[in-house]
Amino acid sequence: MSGVGGAVGAPGVRCLYLDLDGTLLGRGASLLHDGDGEITIEGVRALQACLRAGVEIVLMSGRRRVQVHEDARLFGQSSFIYEAGACLVLDGEEHWLTGELLPGEQTIFEQIDASGAPALLLERYEGRLEHHEPWHTGREVSHLFRGLVDAFEADELLAQNGHGDLRLVDNGVVQRRSPALAALPHVRCYHLVPGGAAKAAAVALHMRARGYAREQVFAVGDSREDLACAEHVGAFWLVANAVERDPTIREAIAGRENVRVAAAGHGAGVYEAVVSTLIRAEPVG
């Protein structure tokens, strides 16, 4: 593990907040493949470097609880963020960021469905939005879509129709689409979640619980939702494929001194971010 040995014990670095799909994981959501499907162990090296340095790894993902829990367990971690920031699991205890929408007789997913908000979006954006099959089923909180819409415009539509307590989260570019979306230039993943649910909010909650200062933590992601975490962390890294797939994201990072773009994509980009952060003699902020 050349280039990392001297980084062990780098002062100040306590935690990495790390996205999965499109960031740590490559083609086919594989840890051991890059975006082109070539075999790589750079993502594993990034995780190893963090573990050797005593840096906590908190996965933050739009995936369901059971999926993120298993990944966190494989990496030896006890805390993680799932369903696009709807819930932080801190050492096994769930902390919901969903406001008045809480699981009970109905799941939060079922409550959102009963409100009619998902049907409203699918009707208004017919031909531009569809369920993100097959991953849209079995969820506890978020309704999962794919397509190409303006998430801020969708939020206005929701508010105008009595759903101001919900928002549509843009969670980055995906590859899968149905023939109905074939004409779109690219396809993005969206989560319909309670308004308070956000990866950034979950990161801030975890930091408070652990007592981490901003300069002690950093984050790596590939989407605008991930980018919102830059407000709380010392350094935020976008993997290269985030900019390649969405060049307009450079507009969103303009003027943000703590945001960096890795030269590499996916797991190699995460490794670059980890090593660059750990070898700094000064805090990452």
pLDDT in tens, 149-194: 999 999 999 999 999 999 999 887 888 899 999 999 989 999 999 9
Residue 285: per-residue pLDDT:
42
Residues 223 and 22 sit within 8 Å (Cβ to Cβ)? yes
Query: Domain holding 253: CATH number?
Result: 3.40.50.1000
Residue 172: per-residue pLDDT:
79
Inside any domain, residue 34: yes
pLDDT at 137 over 50: yes
Give mean pLDDT, residues 234-249.
94
Q: Are residues 234 and 249 in the same domain?
A: yes
Which one of 194, 211, 236 terminates a domain? 194
Residue 218: per-residue pLDDT:
98
Q: Are residues 184 and 210 in the same domain?
A: no
Per the structure, how many domains does the chain have?
A: 2
Buried/exposed code over 166-185 (b: 16+ C-beta within 10 A; e: otherwise): bbbbbbbbbeebeeebeebe
Quick one: CA dihedral 101, 61, 146, 235, positive or negative?
positive
Residue 68: per-residue pLDDT:
97
Q: Are residues 135 and 86 in the same domain?
A: no
Inside any domain, residue 284: no
Residues 236 and 258 sit within 8 Å (Cβ to Cβ)? yes
The pLDDT tens digits for 32-60 are 999 999 999 999 999 999 999 999 999 99
Q: Are residues 244 and 125 in the same domain?
A: no
Q: Are residues 125 and 247 in the same domain?
A: no
d(CA 23, CA 225): 13
Q: Are residues 217 and 166 in the same domain?
A: no
Distances (CA, A) of 154 to 40, 168, 270: 38, 7, 31
Task: Tell me the one-letter amino acid at 249.
Answer: I
Q: Are residues 206 and 65 in the same domain?
A: yes
The pLDDT tens digits for 101-121 are 999 999 999 999 999 999 999
Q: Are residues 232 and 270 in the same domain?
A: yes
Q: Are residues 137 and 25 in the same domain?
A: no
Q: Are residues 269 and 246 in the same domain?
A: yes
Q: Are residues 137 and 273 in the same domain?
A: no
Tokens of 256: 């943000």
Stated pTM of the model: 0.89
Residue 142: per-residue pLDDT:
95
Q: Are residues 154 and 205 in the same domain?
A: no
d(CA 211, CA 224): 26
Which one of 164, 194, 224 terminates a domain? 194
pLDDT at 80 over 70: yes
Buried/exposed code over 252-281 (b: 16+ C-beta within 10 A; e: otherwise): ebeeeebbbebebbbbbbbbbbbbbbbebe
Residue 174: per-residue pLDDT:
83
Which one of 162, 194, 226 terminates a domain? 194
Give the SS3 label for residue 46.
helix
Inside any domain, residue 215: yes
Task: Tell me the one-letter amino acid at 20.
Answer: L
65: containing domain: 5-97+198-278
d(CA 37, CA 30): 9
Give mean pLDDT, residues 228-244.
96
β-strand partners of 188: 147, 173
The residue among 114 and 285 whose pLDDT is bigger is 114
The residue among 68 and 281 whose pLDDT is bigger is 68
